[in-house]
Amino acid sequence: VVFMVLFIFYSYKYYNSTAGHNMVSVPPLENIPAENAKEILSLFDLNLTVKEEIYNSEIPEGFIIEQTPEPGKNVPVGSDIEVVTSRGQEITYILTPNLIGLSMEEASNILKDFGLVKVVTSKEYSSTFKKNLIIDQSPQFSEKIEPGGSVNIIVSKGKETIVIPNIIDLDFRNASNHLKSLGLIVISSKAPLTGIVNEPGIVMKVIPSQGTEVDVNSVVELVISTSELLVPVPDLVQLSLEQAKNILDSDNMFQ
């Protein structure tokens, strides 16, 4: 580039020495970077003006495609030389297809048809999408992407499940807190003391039983020992209010 600048400068300096007063011959600027062209023109007391930037697959980005006035034309000192520069090869974008809810195989086939590449970035639990279905993607659906670009996807691991631990004979509060920390919902019921469990507030039974695999946010019932006097609740379904009251009164449940 330096050699080119010097060559152009001295060649046109010699020519301009024979030209008219305050006139200068325009040097050739095509196929050189606009920044270099600006330096060349400054040697001739000329100014560079970028008239337009257009896509061109043959001329690198930032290089001059054409100029006005043409090389060799005499112009007054201080004149503006207009140029058209290249923006490089135009990139044709495509719109990202929707992959949400598809299987890995389905997504791979679609991306292949679009000339895109699938990249699995992570797997996450999902209560909405079954295992191995796509739950998220980037770029998102309908966003622009270059041909050959990569689409990052997140794949479902299915619902998150918990194996109910062994909490029999534990204190109710500790057992309940442990289950809640695992993402389970705890309810409780009571059962009378036995020869084995003779202390109130102890977990006697777990429903579903320990070792059972359940979804996160499932309800787990803890049956807790109590020293309270417990009586069975009678079946009152489809009875009138008066009939139900008579049964409960006869069982002394309101006393």
Q: What is the pLDDT of residues 198-229, one digit of tens each?
A: 789 999 999 999 999 999 999 999 999 998 77
Which domains, ranges and CATH numbers included, belong to the chain?
A: 2-86 (3.30.10.20), 94-156 (3.30.10.20), 160-255 (3.30.10.20)
Compute the distance between CA of residue 167 and CA of residue 62 in angstroms, rounded to an integer.
Answer: 72
Six token digits for residue 208: 């579903």
Ranges of residues in the chain with a pLDDT under 70 are 1-21, 230-231, 251-255
Q: What is the average pLDDT value for the chain, to the nearest integer?
A: 88
Token pair listed for 187: 């309810």
- The rounded percent of the chain whose pLDDT value lies above 90 is 71
Distance, in Å, from the CA atom of 52 to the CA atom of 39, rounded to the nearest integer, reads 19
H or E element at residue 15: helix 2-16
Place of tokens 């001739």: 44
Supply the pTM of this predicted model.
0.52
- Which residues are CB-contacts of 30 (< 8 A; sequence separation ≥ 6)? 64, 65, 66, 67, 71
Quote the pLDDT of residue 4. Answer: 54
- Three-class SS state of 2: helix
pLDDT tens, 2-18? 445 445 545 555 445 54
- CA contacts within 13 A on the Cβ side of 48: 23
pLDDT at site 244:
84
Angle between helices 2-16 and 34-43 (to 10 degrees): 30
Position 18 scores a pLDDT of 47
Give 182's Cβ-side CA count (13 Å radius). 22
